[in-house]
Structure 1
């Protein structure tokens, strides 16, 4: 099937390959996270909350690149699961911040193991140096290269 002309053309298109890999990675991650009642977007939000003492939903939207209305739903989901909660902002009582709960930290630790397993599955065909090189290249392409 990969020898068909239309498929060979797609396989020479880097953007298409990145898209396919993204779809596969998202599907694998979502399947692994499903056992926790989460999806990849929830995991990204938990991961971000773990680095902050509490953040406004607007900041979450800006940092993760999610639509503000989607963030409201994601935080609602996490709050319903007891993984995050909204609290009054100590700096401005008119606002609320989102914080990770103890249960959220525990689940994040467990889901980190799932994420590592999925990453290992995705990168199985590559050796260690190839994996490091791929990571460096992806950071550059994404505009996240610190160098």
Structure 2
């Protein structure tokens, strides 16, 4: 019978020097998981998670996006977006309205309650993000943001 050495408290320090820890795709996914965990922790007090917060943020700041636009931008299946909007709508945070550009589609608009909750949640998310990325200088964070935009929006500005 073989025994497995106990992991440290993070459970991953032994693996940080594996070839996988040099793989860009893995590092992006792991960094995303770390960021999402911090954001979800910050959003818990508002009964939101990253995905519902993202829909609310785009409804508040995104110029009345259609459900199709939300799905494409967030890289989610349209059925997932419908469920997120249903929940936000049930909570009185957003409304669905006919899209003036395409009457067969709906746009999502934030309510006053949605705008208010978003402002409070945004402060907590930013605080959580600063904690999660405390190892980066302000300049490093700006550069990382710039580089991630290049990866996330190829061919963009």
Tell me which interval the TM-score lies in, with the shorter structure as reference length: 0.7 to 0.9
Q: Tell me by how many angstroms 1:93 deviates.
A: 5.0
SS in 1 for 2:96: strand
Q: Tell me by how many angstroms 1:87 deviates.
A: 2.6
Can you give the 5+ residue segments of structure 2 that lack an aligned partner in the other structure? Answer: 1-7
Q: Tell me by how many angstroms 1:90 deviates.
A: 4.4
SS in 2 for 1:88: strand
Q: Tell me by how many angstroms 1:34 deviates.
A: 1.4
TM-score (norm. length: structure 2): 0.80
User: Which residue of the partner structure matches residue 116 of structure 1?
Assistant: 126
Provide the C-alpha distance between the structure 2 equivalents of 1:63 and 1:36, rounded to a whole number of angstroms.
23
Can you give the 5+ residue segments of structure 1 that lack an aligned partner in the other structure? Answer: none
Provide the C-alpha distance between the structure 1 equivalents of 2:143 and 2:103, rounded to a whole number of angstroms.
47
> After superposition, what is the alpha-carbon deviation per residue over 1:47-99, rounded to whole angstroms, capped at 9, x for unaligned?
11123453332222122221111111001100111100123344555543321
Moved more, 134-143 or 21-30: 134-143
SS in 2 for 1:54: coil
User: Which residue of the partner structure matches residue 12 of structure 1?
Assistant: 22
User: Which residue of the partner structure matches residue 136 of structure 2?
Assistant: 126
Provide the C-alpha distance between the structure 2 equivalents of 1:8 and 1:51, rounded to a whole number of angstroms.
41
Provide the C-alpha distance between the structure 1 equivalents of 2:153 and 2:117, rounded to a whole number of angstroms.
30
Pairing 1:58–2:68 present: yes
Cα pair 2:52 2:88 within 8 Å, conserved: yes
Residue 80 of structure 1, aligned match among 78, 87, 90:
90
Cα pair 1:86 1:99 within 8 Å, conserved: yes
User: Which residue of the partner structure matches residue 24 of structure 1?
Assistant: 34
Provide the alpha-carbon RMSD of the alignment: 2.3
TM-score (norm. length: structure 1): 0.84
